[in-house]
Amino acid sequence: MENGLIELRPNYSAAETMARLEAAVQQAGHRIFACIDHASAAAESGLKMPFTQVLVFGNPSGGTPMMLAAPTLAIDLPFKVLVWEDASGQTHLAYNSPDYLLSRHSVSESFASGLNRLANLVDSALR
């Protein structure tokens, strides 16, 4: 994890993984700010790309205090999760490690629990 990314290989298709993630985020009361569909955008340009989507989500009541304490954190929040399918059809999921975000932005450890909750939410959606 030297690049700060946590990568997982879900046992679900990419579309099912994204659906499970969206459901878990909504059930937890978080806000989905965007779902960026790179494959769809590529198709609009006449290019082919396997399933590749980024879900952007969070909770302003939790994220705002972190960004007030460390304004550069706003470049990485709301939380982002990438789900993609490789050429062999294997699903992958990746997100920034909470520890990496704390270190990258020199954020107080007091915010670790909020970031860890987001990461745990992603992990629980895959079970």
Q: Measured between alpha carbons, how far apart are the two ends of the chain, in Å?
A: 22
CATH architecture of 8-125: 2-Layer Sandwich (3.30)
pLDDT in tens, 1-43: 579 999 999 999 999 999 999 999 999 999 999 999 999 999 9
User: In the beta sheet, which residues pair with residue 52?
Assistant: 84
Domain residue extents for the chain: 8-125
Q: State what percent of residues in the chain have pLDDT above 70.
A: 99
- Residue 105: the pLDDT is 95
pLDDT in tens, 61-71: 999 999 999 99
Surface-to-core class of residue 61, CB atoms within 10 Å of its CB (0-12 exposed, 13-18 middle, 19+ buried): exposed
| Other Cβ atoms closer than 10 A to 31 | 14
For 36, the 3-state DSSP assignment is strand
- pTM of whole model > 0.85? yes
Task: Count how many residues are written for the chain.
Answer: 127
